Amino acid sequence: MAGPNEGNRPLSPHATIYRWPLNAVMSILHRMTGVGMALGAILVVWWFLALSISPGQFRLADGLMTSLPGDFVMVCLLAALWYHFCNGIRHLIWDTGAGLDEGSVRRSALAGWFGTALLTAGSLALISNGI
């Protein structure tokens, strides 16, 4: 069954040329942010648990959580929270049967990205001002 041209056949759809639909990307990111928030919750529970164990354990946990990499992780978790929230609202609207046409899906995706950026920036502004 193997022909002389078997090694030169193109793969379809090839990962380097296939463009994922926006809705697929949004869905995958929604799932990834959900998993990320679950892992982040474990990290925050460890931080609080260290407080109840001993001052030394808390110094270790607090040192890691308030370091530059820890701050980066917390900002990523904050952005994940807002993305998951905004994308969840899209799904609630879709559950009513509204907004399922191609144009509405694209607009709601862009609104979700804009909302995520705005809510994350606003939250960071409030946090940095001590509010």
Q: Where are the domains of the chain?
A: 20-34+68-128
Q: What mean pLDDT comes out for the span 69-80?
A: 97
**Closest to 40 (Cα-Cα) out of 68, 73, 69:** 73
Structure tokens that stand for 128 in this block: 């940095």
Q: What average pLDDT does the chain have? A: 91
pLDDT band with cut points at 50, 70 and 90 for residue 20: confident
CA 50, CA 47: separation in Å to the nearest integer? Answer: 5
Q: Which CATH number fits domain 20-34+68-128: 3.90.930.12, 3.40.190.290, 3.30.1600.10, 1.20.1300.10?
A: 1.20.1300.10
pTM score = 0.83
pLDDT band with cut points at 50, 70 and 90 for residue 15: low
Q: What mean pLDDT comes out for the span 29-37?
A: 97
DSSP 26: H
pLDDT band with cut points at 50, 70 and 90 for residue 18: confident
CA 125, CA 131: separation in Å to the nearest integer? Answer: 9
pLDDT band with cut points at 50, 70 and 90 for residue 36: very high
Q: What percent of the chain has pLDDT over 90?
A: 80
